[in-house]
Amino acid sequence: MVHAYILIQTEVGKATAVAQSISKIEGVLTAEDVTGPYDVIVRAAADTMDNLGRMVVAQVQQVEGITRTLTCPVVNL
């Protein structure tokens, strides 16, 4: 299982709507509004890194109001 944090920048005033939409995507564990350089932080899980990438590109990035994403896979050292 691969886990990742997805840091999201949104259009002004869209963070709550984006977080609500993303929270409905299969594999998303949490989606929360935050303050700072990013507007929403998502914790997601997928079976493989490829499936995680597909989720981000095909589903997360398609949510209206998102301007940029940064995916940070969790590593277990």
Burial state string for 60-72 with b = 16 or more CB within 10 A and e = fewer than 16:
beebebbeebebe
Helix, coil or strand: residue 60:
helix
Pairing of strands 28-33, 66-73: unpaired
- Kindly tell me if the per-residue pLDDT of 47 is higher than 90: yes
Supply 70's token pair: 């940064």
**pLDDT band with cut points at 50, 70 and 90 for residue 42:** very high
- Kindly tell me if the per-residue pLDDT of 77 is higher than 90: no
The pTM of this model reads: 0.94
HSE-CB of 21 using CA atoms within 13 angstroms: 16
pLDDT at 55: 96
- Kindly tell me if the per-residue pLDDT of 37 is higher than 90: yes
- Kindly tell me if the per-residue pLDDT of 54 is higher than 90: yes
